[in-house]
């Protein structure tokens, strides 16, 4: 989904000379298409994420919209305070595009596992947080986030993610998308782990269990109405995220439910401490969590 996103960014920036792309020397073989098309709107600042965010804030204070690109933890955790103070407190049009979200770079080791980013970014003032599930969501979210002219975080996986939505699906930051409607359990997913939710729904159907599957492109704002409707329409809710289950998507969903006085049977499928230090492909690491359908069955 990173190539589709950079293509969408290039197309957008062609008609918006105020949009600049900064990288901290990452994105080889991905960013060249932007740099060659729009060389005056592209700067490789070198390996310095803290300065990169500050430079972005300075550009944004001077009439630019700035997009930052790097691997998940580097443009978020490394420069968290620059994002908090310089970008978010000042409510500036700076968007961070992170690649390698979740366990996409699983074999690369713990430094490259991005499993706290969503929760932390969503705590920052004025920050929108988007977690697309497939290239179609990513392409659709990019211009929406740029149009918003405020701080934004766009979390991507890497390349080769399958398209999960039918062509023509309307994608917005604010609304969850229902891919499958059922009656027993609702599988609420954010990000490419949506694919596992869809596969689990098939397996559950074969066992006589009717599951809904919803995708949440927006981590913040979260579509609260979709959460409440899911709770009212099903006996159980299972959230799915490629992120620590503490302080992530499941926690946000639980907050919405509690505040509304709803208490469906509830489970969270996502990264736990058990995965820390393990290396392996994204699929292999997620398999360590056990089959999604088993987590679902345990709630029914």
User: At which residue do the structure tokens 């697309």 appear?
Assistant: 132
Measured CA distances, 123 to 48, 117, 126, 200 (Å): 23, 10, 9, 31
Using the rule CB under 8 A, give the single segment among 42-50, 173-181, 272-280, 291-299 that binds other proteins.
Answer: 42-50
Instruction: Provide, rounded to whole angstroms, the least separation between the CB of residue 96 and other proteins.
Output: 15
How many residues form the binding site for other proteins (CB under 8 A)?
A: 26
- The residue (of 86 and 116) whose beta carbon lies closer to other proteins is 86
Contact between 246 and other proteins per CB under 8 A: no
With contacts defined by CB under 8 A, name the span among 56-64, 175-183, 234-242, 274-282 that binds other proteins.
Answer: 56-64
Asked if 160 touches other proteins (CB under 8 A), the answer is no
Q: Select from 77-85, 114-122, 164-172, 195-203 the region that touches other proteins (CB under 8 A).
A: 77-85
List 180's β-bridge partners, or say none: 213
Report the residue number, 64 or 234, with the smaller CB distance to other proteins.
Answer: 64
Structure tokens of 286?
A: 């997620």
Gyration radius (Cα) of the chain, Å: 19
Determine, following the binding rule CB under 8 A, whether residue 95 of this chain makes contact with other proteins: no
Residues 139-158 that bind other proteins (CB under 8 A): none
Say if residues 59 and 67 touch (Cβ distance below 8 Å).
Answer: no
Applying CB under 8 A, the span of 29-37, 84-92, 134-142, 185-193 interacting with other proteins comes to: 84-92
DSSP state of 200: H
Segment interacting with other proteins (CB under 8 A) among 55-63, 159-167, 172-180, 186-194: 55-63
**88 sits near other proteins (criterion: CB under 8 A):** no
Q: Strand 218-220 relative to strand 128-130: parallel, antiparallel, unpaired?
A: antiparallel
Of residues 162, 180, 161, 187, the one with CA closest to residue 250: 187
Asked if 141 and 171 count as a contact pair (C-beta separation under 8 A), the reply is: yes
Q: Which is nearer to other proteins, 58 or 160 (CB)?
A: 58
**Judged by CB under 8 A, does residue 48 bind other proteins?**
yes
What are the φ/ψ torsions at residue 66 (nearest 5 degrees)? -125, 135
Question: Considering the complex, what minimum distance in angstroms separates the CB of residue 224 from other proteins?
Answer: 31
Name the 3-class secondary structure at 62: coil
Give the burial class of 125: count Cβ atoms within 10 A of its Cβ; 0-12 exposed, 13-18 middle, 19 or more buried.
Answer: exposed
Stretch that binds other proteins, among 86-94, 139-147, 153-161, 217-225 (CB under 8 A): 86-94
Structure tokens at 254: 């639980």
**Minimum distance from CB of 76 to other proteins (Å)?**
16
Position 33 contacts other proteins (CB under 8 A) = no
Minimum Å gap between C-beta 248 and other proteins is 27
CA dihedral 266, 298, 110, 107 (to 10 degrees): -130
Q: Round to whole Å and give the CA distance between 206 and 137.
A: 29
CA distance 106 to 198: 22
State the nearest-atom distance from the C-beta of 60 to other proteins, in Å: 7
* Closer CB to other proteins, 65 or 113, in the complex: 65
> Whole-angstrom Cα distance, residue 230 to residue 176?
11
Interface with other proteins by CB under 8 A: which residues? Answer: 40, 43, 45-46, 48, 50-64, 81-82, 85-86, 89-90
């Amino acid at each position: 989904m990173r190539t589709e996103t950079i293509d969408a960014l290039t197309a957008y920036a062609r008609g918006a000379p105020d949009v600049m792309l900064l990288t901290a020397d990452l994105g080889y073989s991905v960013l060249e298409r932007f740099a060659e098309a729009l060389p005056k709107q592209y700067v490789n600042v070198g390996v310095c994420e803290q300065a990169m965010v500050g430079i972005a804030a300075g550009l944004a204070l001077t009439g630019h919209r700035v997009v930052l690109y790097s691997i998940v933890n580097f443009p978020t955790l490394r420069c968290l305070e620059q994002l908090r103070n310089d970008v978010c407190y000042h409510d500036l049009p700076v968007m961070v595009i992170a690649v390698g979200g979740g366990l996409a770079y699983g074999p690369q080791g713990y430094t490259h596992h991005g499993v706290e980013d969503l929760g932390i970014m969503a705590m920052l003032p004025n920050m929108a947080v988007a977690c697309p599930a497939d290239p179609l969501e990513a392409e659709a979210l990019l211009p929406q986030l740029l149009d918003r002219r405020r701080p934004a975080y766009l979390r991507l996986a890497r390349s080769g993610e399958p398209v999960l939505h039918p062509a023509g699906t309307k994608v917005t930051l604010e609304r969850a998308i229902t891919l499958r409607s059922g009656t027993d359990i609702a599988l609420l997913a954010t990000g490419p782990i949506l694919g596992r939710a869809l596969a689990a729904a098939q397996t559950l159907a074969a066992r006589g269990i009717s599951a809904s599957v919803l995708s949440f492109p927006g981590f913040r704002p979260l579509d609260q109405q979709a959460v409440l409707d899911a709770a009212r329409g099903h006996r159980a809710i299972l959230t799915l995220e490629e992120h620590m289950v503490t302080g992530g998507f499941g926690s946000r969903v639980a907050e919405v439910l509690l505040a509304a006085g709803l208490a469906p049977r509830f489970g969270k499928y996502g990264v736990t401490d058990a995965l820390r230090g393990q290396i392996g492909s994204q699929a292999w690491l997620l398999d360590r969590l056990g089959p999604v359908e088993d987590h679902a069955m345990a709630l029914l």
